[in-house]
Structure 1
């Protein structure tokens, strides 16, 4: 069996979207003839914890862990947070417009912690893995970011070993949605871009998750960038009862930050609830996972407080079980410069639910093409109140008649097993 070293910050018991890509990919590698060797921090400062995910680690997986020091306690003291308080997804967007202490923390993050706060783990990790690889050869190295410090660890190994390296960009580096909020100096911006270019040039293959992201990364270094989507794990849906509840439930699963807050949707729902008593009585807005306060505030501002059902982070399988009770699945896209290339991991799990997806974002984006191809949902621009209202009225009427459903197709190609095979195919090129 061949061996692949996977360098990832996110790994169980950490939870959230960042864990899923390589937890799920690695699960199927042994069946394809590859033994996964995971290198991950012993004590990461995770935003969410999901102990249930440890049960999904394939028994043939070898896991290497070393301690990491991250400056988050310094940030907590600087910004007045409690010791150990979790940083929510989208923290940078919130802090960049906060008080002077929050702005200072973002300035430090952007200009001195390059590429990210995990930079202090790079040198000790290169040293540890150098010693490991001398005694335990591998056939392939994969680094996955963000955090992009993982790519710099792989870069350090590439300079010492003639081992093929795939740099997997789950999200962009300098094109990521919050990059323009890092309060960067010219020097800081130059440093980020220099390191990004070096990774792109030195990696044997560069992989990302969407056509637009691939195009943007290719512009930086001029070489082809491979596309391997995120996806869904069919085993996650075994035993789940797909029985929508008796309410007109519109649900969101996962981290919901302020850059994704679809204000137009809450306004439309507020108007419909005001005009239609039955709609008001039947409507449930179900938010499962970390949700920014701005989202809650906007919902309440539109008179929908009684319709809101908020649930904190759940174990992944339990979250999917709750999601399976929904009538409509909400997919808000970040209102950011790179929005056209964003393909949220939750979208693929939504597709496997076979419930109508209501997406809000740029209508010429990659996610729209996939929704159209699989016939799993409909997308509207950030400000298309008319289109959103018309669709919601139609969905509600179909719900009342017991006919709200989608005739989805062709989404099986996004199964994690098929996607893991693509990485293996790439390793032979």
Structure 2
């Protein structure tokens, strides 16, 4: 048997952080020991997480070696002025530009122009100093950095330069092409600095890992370094089973950002409630997670507020229970060229929930192909109003007949263990 390979994973998000950012490497770390890889995980000791899920702490592998070091985050100081606004911006919920307060505009400008690439940049130098010693003492020659926040990649960049170790840079989301990047009120100097750092990271690391084919295509315009697509996935989760909702529930799980506000959906639902009295009586919109004020306002403008069940943020395992008891699951992505590469992490949990997905997103969205190939739902572009409305109506008819279901195929390739095996082969074969 080969000796166990040690790797160091550098991540900002880790339990008790909640939200999608923590899931990817929490699950990789869970399964890496099955492939003869010993994970050392470096995380901040006192982070300012916008969302907390204490129950995820119990999912951390007892075979993982966790290392913590203090971090200074200016979000802690900013919260003195406006804790709620700071929390929203740090979690990615950026208010509509026309409705931003002076404090919000100032915070966004500082976020984009002062803290480059992000507000966790102050953790870079102390981490490099600590990890140089740690890597030598534990004879670790391979590191993985995962971002966002992309300042984590700067730790890898510096360690690569000083120790010439093997470095894999994992991009859960793009850097300068992600949707909210343009909303950071960047000066030309700051925009160039972001691009310069992005290019240096991509051309200095040994291997890039991305979560979608479109991101790989975009990154190939910046670097000739090898790029591997390893999507997010689902885990075999044992959760309490709850009967299907008695109402015809359309459920959205996760942050519902203002830029994702799907007018096409609200219009279809409004017309269906007006045209079909039974639909009007039975329909419920179930929202789990942070929902922007703009989305709630649109729902109200389309006179759907009486159909809303706003459950707010809940622990991951509770959200899964609600998800699996819903009649239909909604997946909404921003209608822009920049977001076609985004494959939301919740898609994979949706796919194993055995509930039909109705997805709305940009043309040529990567996740549309996955939904089609796995037979887990239906995808609509933002100009396909009539077919969207018809599909919701069809789902309602099947619900009334107690026949609303899906028949998925080929899901195993997206299991967390299968994806970790792919990662382990990458780690062992090339390095």
Task: Using structure 1 for the length normalisation, give the TM-score.
Answer: 0.95
Taking the aligned partners of 1:290 and 1:32, their CA distance within structure 2 comes to 37
CA distance in 1 between partners of 2:27 and 2:257 (Å): 24
Cα offset for 1:334? 2.0
2-side partners of 1:204 and 1:92: how far apart?
34
Give the CA deviation at 1:92.
3.4
Q: Which of 134, 152, 155 matches 2:154? A: 152
Q: Is the 8 A contact 1:89 1:255 kept in 2?
A: no
The equivalent of 2:322 in structure 1 is 322
Q: For the structure 1 residues 4 and 94, does the alpha-carbon distance in structure 2 shift closer, same or farther, using more than 3 Å as the test? A: farther
Moved over 6 A (4+): none
Q: Distance in 1 between matches of 2:46 and 2:89?
A: 15
User: 1:11 and 2:14 equivalent?
Assistant: yes
SS in structure 2 of the partner of residue 44 of structure 1: coil
Query: Which residue number in structure 2 is paired with residue 34 of structure 1?
Result: 37
- The answer to whether residue 119 in structure 2 is matched with residue 117 in structure 1 is yes
CA distance in 1, matches of 2:95, 2:383: 21
What is the CA–CA distance in structure 1 between the aligned matches of 2:262 and 2:68, rounded to whole Å?
39
The residue number in structure 1 matching 2:133 is 131
Greater Cα shift, 196-205 or 88-97: 88-97
Of 163, 172, 181 in structure 1, the residue corresponding to residue 174 of structure 2 is 172
Shift of 1:147: 0.3
Aligned-residue offset at 1:264: 1.3
1:420 aligns with 2:423: no
SS in 2 for 1:19: helix
What does 1:26-105 correspond to in 2, within 5 Å? 26-77=29-80, 80-81=82-83, 87=89, 89-92=91-94, 94=96, 98-105=100-107
Aligned to 1:228: 230
* 1:93–1:178 CA contact under 8 A, matched in 2: no
Assess if the C-alpha contact under 8 Å between 1:2 and 1:33 holds in 2: yes
- Distance in 2 of aligned mates of 1:255 and 1:96: 21
Q: Unaligned regions of 5+ residues in structure 1, if any?
A: none
Distance in 2 separating the partners of 1:225 and 1:96? 39
Is 2:227 the partner of 1:217?
A: no
Cα deviation code 1:308-351 (max 9, x no counterpart): 11112111111101111111000001233311101000000000
Structure 2 match to 1:254? 254
> Using the alignment, how far apart are the partners of 1:84 and 1:203 within structure 2?
32
Larger displacement relative to structure 2 (185-194 or 238-247)? 238-247
TM-superposition CA deviations, 1:248-307 (whole Å, max 9, x none): 110011111111121210111111112211101110111111111211221122121121
Aligned residues: 426
Distance 2:41 2:98 in 1: 34
Superposition RMSD in Å: 1.7
Give the drift of 1:76: 3.3
Structure 1, residues 390-423: CA drift from partner, whole Å, max 9, x if none? Answer: 1011111111011111111001110011111111
Conservation of the 8 A alpha-carbon contact between 1:251 and 1:286: yes
| Aligned residues of 1:5 and 1:38 also touching (Cα < 8 A) | yes
User: 1:139 and 1:389 mapped to 2: Cα distance?
Assistant: 55
Q: 1:8 to 1:101 in 2, by over 3 A?
A: same
> Tell me, what secondary structure is at the counterpart of 1:29?
helix
Partners in 2 of 1:191 and 1:84 — Cα distance?
24
| Structure 1 residues 330 and 69, CA gap change in structure 2 (3 angstroms) | same
**Aligned counterpart, 1:25:** 28
- 8 Å contact kept, 2:355–2:405: yes
In the superposition, the TM-score normalised over structure 2's length comes to 0.95
Unaligned runs of 5+ in 2: none
- Whether contact under 8 Å (2:85, 2:104) holds in the other structure is no
Q: Does 1:361 align with 2:361?
A: yes
Write the deviation string for residues 169-222 of structure 1: whole angstroms up to 9, x where unpaired: 000001111111111111111111111111101111001000001110111123
